[in-house]
């Protein structure tokens, strides 16, 4: 798979603030995702699981999880060596031993990750690839006990490929990136085809207001509906966030699916 990597590797295109500010304050979605993982029966506060965070950025999500789940150990894998170094320096300087980041490419993962993890998580990344099947398959090939992902999904038989371009003040193109929306039933079908069943899902509805940024570029903000729920938007797009999870068949407690929404 030929992936366009400029948006992930060019220093002037990587949004460092997106990674940094999560260390100061985790995103509401990260907290809600962990709440849901517990409800879904995949993690427990005192459980000693080995977790891989696929496309971990600088590791802010495993940092949050390591504080919440002190008996677990975490490895984050990301293609951006600068983010990996930044995260590892932070973990070492703060004496956090159960988190480590490694440079890796989801399209060409090191085979030593196979059968090494109880769970693979991936936060807000699946939609940022050219398409979702190869990244899902790459996670499934690692044969973890379960896979859990936060992603932009549509609960119907439609997927959208959305390739955005941002412009500078002179309206010259500065940055491109995918913001695809994947069909939830198709994602489920692919996971099942890769041997992951017990599919669970829930929409994520944010519980705080996020102001619309003045620059008008891609950045999440909210609009409140009459019934009090909040729509999440970014630039011109709606952001239909879901949390999904499935267990490896041999690790599943049963073959019945149990949607959590």
Ligand X SMILES: C[S@@+](CC[C@H](N)C(=O)[O-])C[C@H]1O[C@@H](n2cnc3c(N)ncnc32)[C@H](O)[C@@H]1O
Binding residues for ligand X, rule: CB under 6 A, are: 3, 8, 19, 22, 55-57, 60-61, 78-80, 83, 104-107, 123-125, 128
CB atoms within 10 A of CB 216: 11
State the nearest-atom distance from the C-beta of 189 to ligand X, in Å: 23
β-bridge partners, 167: 173
Nearer to ligand X, 123 or 146 (CB): 123
Residue 238: C-alpha distances to residues 83, 157, 226 (Å): 28, 18, 17
187 — phi, psi (to 5°)?
-60, -45
Burial class of residue 186 in the structure, from the number of CB atoms within 10 Å of its CB (0-12 exposed, 13-18 middle, 19+ buried): middle
State the nearest-atom distance from the C-beta of 219 to ligand X, in Å: 12
CB atoms within 10 A of CB 62: 29
State the nearest-atom distance from the C-beta of 256 to ligand X, in Å: 30
- Residue (of 74, 61, 1) closest to 34 by Cα position: 61
Nearer to ligand X, 125 or 202 (CB): 125
The residues near 119 (Cβ < 8 Å, ≥ 6 apart) are: 42, 43, 49, 50, 51, 52, 144, 145, 146, 147, 148
Nearer to ligand X, 55 or 239 (CB): 55
State the nearest-atom distance from the C-beta of 22 to ligand X, in Å: 6
**Residue 214 DSSP one-character state:** T
State the nearest-atom distance from the C-beta of 35 to ligand X, in Å: 16
β-bridge partners, 223: 231
Nearer to ligand X, 104 or 198 (CB): 104
State the nearest-atom distance from the C-beta of 108 to ligand X, in Å: 8
Nearer to ligand X, 61 or 197 (CB): 61
Nearer to ligand X, 8 or 90 (CB): 8
Q: Residue 139 and residue 97: Cα distance in Å, rounded?
A: 24
Nearer to ligand X, 9 or 158 (CB): 9
Q: What is the DSSP string of 73-121?
A: EEEEEES-HHHHHHHHHHHHHTT--SEEEEE-BTTB--GGGTT--SEEE
State the nearest-atom distance from the C-beta of 229 to ligand X, in Å: 23
């Amino acid at each position: 798979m030929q992936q366009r990597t400029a948006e992930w590797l060019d220093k002037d295109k990587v949004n460092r603030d997106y990674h940094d500010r999560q260390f100061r304050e985790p995103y509401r979605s990260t907290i809600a995702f962990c709440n849901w993982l517990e409800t879904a029966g995949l993690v427990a506060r005192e459980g000693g699981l080995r977790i891989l965070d696929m496309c971990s950025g600088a590791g802010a999500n495993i940092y949050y999880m390591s504080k919440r789940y002190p008996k677990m150990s975490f490895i984050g894998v990301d293609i951006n060596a600068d983010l990996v170094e930044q995260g590892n320096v932070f973990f070492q300087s703060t004496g956090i031993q159960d988190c480590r980041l490694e440079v890796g490419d989801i399209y060409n993962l090191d085979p030593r990750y196979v059968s090494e993890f109880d769970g693979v998580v991936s936060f807000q990344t699946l939609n940022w690839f050219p398409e979702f099947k190869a990244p899902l398959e790459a996670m499934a090939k690692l044969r973890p006990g379960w896979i859990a992902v936060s992603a932009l999904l549509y609960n119907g038989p439609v997927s959208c490929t959305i390739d955005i371009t941002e412009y500078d003040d002179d309206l010259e193109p500065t940055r491109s990136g995918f913001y695809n929306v994947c069909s939830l039933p198709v994602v489920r079908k692919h996971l099942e085809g890769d041997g992951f069943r017990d599919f669970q899902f829930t929409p994520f509805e944010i519980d705080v207001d996020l102001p619309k940024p003045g620059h008008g570029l891609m950045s999440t903000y909210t609009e409140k509906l009459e019934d009090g729920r909040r729509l999440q938007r970014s630039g011109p797009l709606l952001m239909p966030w879901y949390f999904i999870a499935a267990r490896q068949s041999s690790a599943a407690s049963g073959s019945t699916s149990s949607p959590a929404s």
